[in-house]
């Protein structure tokens, strides 16, 4: 995380926001996992008014990363000119416009939630990310299995990893 030389005013305003912040509404459905989640719009609606009332704004942008990734940058800016900035590198599930758009939206949602302090998802204590079984052991990943967090499928043993295509 990067920040301006001082973040005293920003920190004070963010504390005011967080004192009144409610979790984002989980009003979208993921049919693959029969679960609900807070989409980007819900995360924004949970904080937009509070941020503005406290002199804070959010700026998000993106760039192409290495190895089939997109980087989503989130800046929390204060009216004093103070700022904090974070980047999130997102893998592309598909190397096409829809895959890029999906990764950017996902990164914006998580970047916004993280920089403001919004609760947007259930906390599973890292079990989905580490593929832990019920007994706590790390289970092997099945080839072509979709990870529990909805991310890209890992390549199978005989499948090559796609390389980024150059844009002309």
User: How confident is the model over 122-145, as pLDDT tens digits?
Assistant: 655 555 555 554 455 444 444 444
For residue 146, name the pLDDT band (cuts at 50, 70, 90).
very low
For 63-98, the pLDDT digits (tens) are 999 999 999 999 999 999 999 999 999 999 998 999
- Residue-level pLDDT at 77: 98
- Residue-level pLDDT at 38: 83
Closest Cα partner for 9 from 74, 60, 17?
17
Instruction: Give, in order, the Cα–Cα distances in Å from 121 to each of 17, 39, 124.
Output: 19, 10, 9
- Residue-level pLDDT at 27: 82
Distance CA(71)–CA(63), nearest Å, equals: 5
Structural element, H or E, at residue 128: helix 127-130
- Cβ burial of 58 (10 Å; 0-12, 13-18, 19+) is middle
For 7-53, the pLDDT digits (tens) are 999 999 999 999 999 888 888 877 877 788 888 989 999 999 999 99
- Cβ burial of 31 (10 Å; 0-12, 13-18, 19+) is exposed
Q: Which pair of tokens denotes residue 113? A: 């939630």
For 152-168, the pLDDT digits (tens) are 444 433 334 444 444 44
Distance CA(37)–CA(22), nearest Å, equals: 15
- Residue-level pLDDT at 118: 93
- Residue-level pLDDT at 128: 59
């Amino acid at each position: 995380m990067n920040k301006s030389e001082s973040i005293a005013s920003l920190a004070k305003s963010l504390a005011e926001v967080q004192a009144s912040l409610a979790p984002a509404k989980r009003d979208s459905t993921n049919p693959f996992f029969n679960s609900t989640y807070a989409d980007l719009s819900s995360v924004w609606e949970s904080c937009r008014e509070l941020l503005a009332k406290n002199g804070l704004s959010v700026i998000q942008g993106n760039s192409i990363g290495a190895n089939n990734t997109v980087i989503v940058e989130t800046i929390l800016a204060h009216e004093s000119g103070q700022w904090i900035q974070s980047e999130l590198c997102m893998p592309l599930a598909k190397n096409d416009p829809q895959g890029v758009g999906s990764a950017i939206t996902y990164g914006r949602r998580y970047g916004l939630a993280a920089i403001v302090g919004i609760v947007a998802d259930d906390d599973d204590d890292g079990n989905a990310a580490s593929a832990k079984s019920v007994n706590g052991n790390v289970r092997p990943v099945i080839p072509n299995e979709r990870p529990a967090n909805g991310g890209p499928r890992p390549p199978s043993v005989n499948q090559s990893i796609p390389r980024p295509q150059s844009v002309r």
